[in-house]
């Protein structure tokens, strides 16, 4: 996303793209439906915990570790193979995201570095910082051209500036831009998809749209499928109004599906089935 131009609030300007206002309204209704459920008034901690687990599973699935929910629930060993490490990273990121809300608005780049450190769980020189010129990126599921390290640095600074400055844009728009920009840039040597989705979660929580984190967009992204996810990302990278609008709408649909998932959990708890 270009962060230059005459518009003082470029994120807010994206709200006028075709279909975006409708997506924002649909998401708001879906979120309100969950928060208005009678189970949420008594057992919101349980809903939050279950949403975190399901969101982690969804994010891991998009990064190539498509495990059944009950497998994620029962497992405790997440270092035995590549897929297990991906699931473990997704779980750690979901747990960490809630601890970083107060830092995000003041220092987004610090938060992103921390997310990568948590995801990688290693002491390599490349961990916890944007990649440098010539360093490879392990992100096989996103095959878009890789921006240079210089471009990454400039665009991360631009994104950080937008977050720190604040915006009147709907939370969905900001979350979608943060998510899309990180996927497009792949600023770290690894785990960029997981980090991008965790950052989206932070925006949705911190904005007040989903303060209890019960509408896991990761669930929706996984349900919509990797092919649709990557096709929508192509639209974001194109930078066209149609492409950007389609990406934001795709993210909106993901949040809506995440809200629907937690509504179903509420219903199951109400019936005594979960």
Summarised one tens digit per residue, pLDDT across range 124-171 is 889 999 999 999 999 988 999 999 999 999 999 999 999 999 999 999
Max Cα distance, the chain (Å):
56
Q: 270: burial class by Cβ within 10 Å (0-12, 13-18, 19+)?
A: middle
**Cα separation of 126 and 124, whole Å?**
5
What's the chain's Rg over C-alpha atoms? 18
How would you class 5 by CB atoms within 10 Å of its CB: exposed for 0-12, middle for 13-18, buried for 19 or more? exposed
Q: How many CB atoms sit inside 10 A of residue 228's CB? A: 14
Residue 112: closest CA among 92, 97, 133: 97
The answer to whether 245 and 19 have CB atoms below 8 angstroms apart is yes
Phi and psi at residue 190, in whole multiples of 5°? -160, 170
The closest alpha carbon to 197, from 125, 139, 265, belongs to 139
* This prediction's pTM: 0.95
Residue with tokens 């929580």: 205
Strand partners, 190: 138
Distances (CA, A) of 154 to 113, 159, 165, 194, 224: 16, 9, 16, 22, 32
Under the banding of pLDDT at 50, 70 and 90, the label for residue 7 is low
Per-residue model confidence as pLDDT tens digits over 229-263? 999 999 999 999 999 999 999 999 999 999 999 99
Q: Do residues 121 and 176 make contact, with C-beta atoms less than 8 angstroms apart?
A: no
Mean pLDDT, rounded, for 48-55: 97
Looking at residue 42, its pLDDT comes to: 92
Q: What is the mean pLDDT of the chain?
A: 94
């Amino acid at each position: 996303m270009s962060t230059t131009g005459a518009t003082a609030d470029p994120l807010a300007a994206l709200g006028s793209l075709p279909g975006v206002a409708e997506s924002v309204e649909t998401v708001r209704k879906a979120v309100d439906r969950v928060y208005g459920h009678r189970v949420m008034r008594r057992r919101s901690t349980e809903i939050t915990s279950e949403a975190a687990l399901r969101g982690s599973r969804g994010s891991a699935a998009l990064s190539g570790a498509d495990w059944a929910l009950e497998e994620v629930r029962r497992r405790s060993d997440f270092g035995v193979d590549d897929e297990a490490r991906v699931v473990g990273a997704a779980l750690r990121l979901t747990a960490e995201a809630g601890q970083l809300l107060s830092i995000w608005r003041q220092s987004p780049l610090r938060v992103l570095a921390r997310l990568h450190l948590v995801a990688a769980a290693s002491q390599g020189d490349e961990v916890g910082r944007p990649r440098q010129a010539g360093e490879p990126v392990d992100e096989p599921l996103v095959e878009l051209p890789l921006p240079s390290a210089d471009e990454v640095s400039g665009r991360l600074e631009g994104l950080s500036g937008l977050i720190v400055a604040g915006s009147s844009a709907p939370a969905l728009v900001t979350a979608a831009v943060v998510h899309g920009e990180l996927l497009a840039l792949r600023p770290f040597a690894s785990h960029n998809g997981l980090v991008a989705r965790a950052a989206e979660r932070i925006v949705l929580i911190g904005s007040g749209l989903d303060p209890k984190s019960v509408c896991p967009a990761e669930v929706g992204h996984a349900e919509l499928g990797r092919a649709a996810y990557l096709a929508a990302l192509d639209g974001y990278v194109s930078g066209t109004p149609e492409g950007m609008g389609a990406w934001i709408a795709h993210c909106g649909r993901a949040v809506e599906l995440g809200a629907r998932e937690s509504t179903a959990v509420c219903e199951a708890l109400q019936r005594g089935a979960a």
